[in-house]
Amino acid sequence: MSALNKIMYVDDDPDMLHIVALGLKMGHFTVEVCNSGHDALQQVTSFQPDLVMLDMLMPGMTGTDTLRELHKVPGFEALPAIFLTAKVNKQQLETYKNLGAIGVINKPLNPLKLAGVVRELWDKRMSRT
Amino acid sequence: MSKKILVIEDEENLGKLIVAFLEKNGFKVQCLSQGVEDIEVIRKEQPDLILTDLLLPGLHGFDICKNVKEDPELGETPLIIMTAVYKNAIHKLEAKRLGVKDFVEKPLDFDDLLRKIEGCIGPAETGQKQSAPPPDTIPEDMVEISGDDEETRKIPIIKSNKALNDSIQREFNSLKENYADKLPEKVIALEKTWENILNGTDVSQHLVLLRRKVHSLTGSGETFGFKEISDKAREMELLLDMIIAEGEHTIPNRKNQMNGLLDDLRHHPVVSTELEMMRLGKTF
């Protein structure tokens, strides 16, 4: 099973960037925060994340736009993702799945549980591949 | 013979949309757009199901439900409530107590609406195959986890060493304090954007901007421990969705509602305390 060590988190909300990063660090993950899709595209090659977590609603490039662009970067065509969003319906879940998402975490979230939730999603997904 | 649905909805465009959608799915539909003053008007329609908004002219939706349930002719007629603002657990409990069968939130997910209607009374024609998609099923290999629900609570907090945990806890507390400190500025920013909208300044751009700021609060508020902020922001987001869907010309109709929600935010204990401290700081 692939190891999960490095997570890139993309969100335009600086408050959420801080608290999510902190929550992930509790799980001993190495975290890179990006405040936009463009920022994520600039950082991905140098940071080499195992997983990207993306807020959905961002100005300019949305979460899905960002993931599509990340998948065009050589070496990241299959980069797994988790979306963070307030509300999602069945059709949206299907879209996210087709884009390579391994799960969705609803906001608001519990930052103290976040690392465990991410680990759970990763383990469940990886056990199926 | 097609089953009949009575829709009670005073938002004209939404009422028309619902009628068109349900008729397309084979139901016979009557819409009461002026609300209901007397249950007699519902008795005359003899619907198989009543789909009602809550905030209505005339009788409130809950009163309609109560009167329907108590009426000897209508008592068995299933009721579905639709609402943008009465969505918390208390309202849902009240709805259940009044005998309401189901609840749909606005903005409407029409597939969900159809599924719930067919769940109550079956498809439009007896013998017709149910057209609504099956209940929410998440694709097998796709997992959705709520950020903080019963399932999540079973997930243990990852134990780091005590020193790291203590350090992280201090950082969390500090982040929470910083967030609380910044809440008044966020509320003021919302008020300014709304003011620009009311003044007619770049309305569509400001609507998008306001919605984005409000959406951000829906997620961050409760994450930082301020659930009421998220709840209020969610109501504002729904209201903005309605304005955006129905058109800028509806802004005057929604002005008081939005002003009320902004006022509620401003009077949240953390926000009002910080605002007062800001005012005192300026005075000194």
Q: Which residue has better confidence, A60 or B279?
A: A60
Counting one residue from chain A and one from chain B, the pairs whose CB atoms sit within 8 A come to 131
Cβ atoms < 10 Å from Cβ of B70: 12
Q: Convert the pLDDT of each residue in B117-164 to its tens digit.
A: 998 898 888 666 555 444 433 333 334 444 444 444 444 444 445 666
B161 contacts on A by Cβ (under 8 Å): none
Is B219–A108 a contact, with Cβ atoms under 8 angstroms apart?
A: yes
Q: How confident is the model at residue A94 (pLDDT cuts 50, 70, 90)?
A: confident
Task: Share the mean pLDDT of chain B.
Answer: 80
Q: Distance from CA of residue B144 to its chain's centroid?
A: 21
A57 contacts on B by Cβ (under 8 Å): 212, 215
- Chain B residues 99-128 with a CB less than 8 Å from chain A: 109, 111-112
SS3 sequence of B101-155: CEEEECCCCHHHHHHHHHHHHCCCCCCCCCCCCCCCCCCCCCEEECCCCHHHHHC
Share of chain B above pLDDT 70, in %: 79
- Chain B residues 131-160 with a CB less than 8 Å from chain A: 133, 136-139, 141-148, 152-153, 155-158, 160
Tell whether A2 lies on the interface with B, counting CB pairs under 8 A.
no
Q: What mean pLDDT comes out for the span B13-20?
A: 84
Amino acid at B60: H
Amino acid at A39: D
Exposure b/e, A71-93, CB count within 10 A at least 16 = b = eeeeebeebbbbbbbbebebeeb
Radius of gyration of chain B, Cα coordinates, nearest whole angstrom:
23
Tell whether A88 lies on the interface with B, counting CB pairs under 8 A.
yes
Q: Convert the pLDDT of each residue in B26-60 to its tens digit.
A: 899 999 988 888 889 999 999 999 999 888 888 88
* Chain A contact probe: residue of B110, B112, B137, B142 with most A CBs at under 10 A: B142
A97 contacts on B by Cβ (under 8 Å): 139, 141-142
A16 contacts on B by Cβ (under 8 Å): 216, 219-220, 223
SS3 at position A108: coil
Q: For position B93, what pLDDT does the model report?
A: 66
- Quick one: closest CA in A to B112, which residue? A89
Q: What mean pLDDT comes out for the span A78-84?
A: 93
Q: Convert the pLDDT of each residue in B54-86 to its tens digit.
A: 888 888 888 899 899 988 889 889 999 987 766
Is B242:A126 a contact under the CB 8 Å cutoff?
Answer: no
Q: How far is A29 from chain B (nearest CA, A)?
A: 11
Is A25–B168 a contact, with Cβ atoms under 8 angstroms apart?
A: yes
- Chain A residues 27-86 with a CB less than 8 Å from chain B: 27-28, 55, 57, 59, 84, 86
| Residue B1: HSE in the Cβ half-sphere, 13 Å Cα cutoff | 4
Q: What mean pLDDT comes out for the span A13-25?
A: 90
Cβ atoms < 10 Å from Cβ of A4: 18
Interface predicted TM-score (ipTM): 0.80
Q: For position B274, what pLDDT does the model report?
A: 66
Cross-chain CB nearest to A22 (options B157, B168, B221): B168
Long-range contacts of A41-48 (CB under 8 A, 24+ apart): A41/A66, A41/A69, A41/A70, A41/A73, A43/A8, A44/A8, A44/A70, A44/A73, A44/A76, A44/A79, A45/A73, A45/A75, A47/A6, A47/A8, A48/A6
Is residue B277 pLDDT above 80, yes or no? no
Is B145–A108 a contact, with Cβ atoms under 8 angstroms apart?
A: no
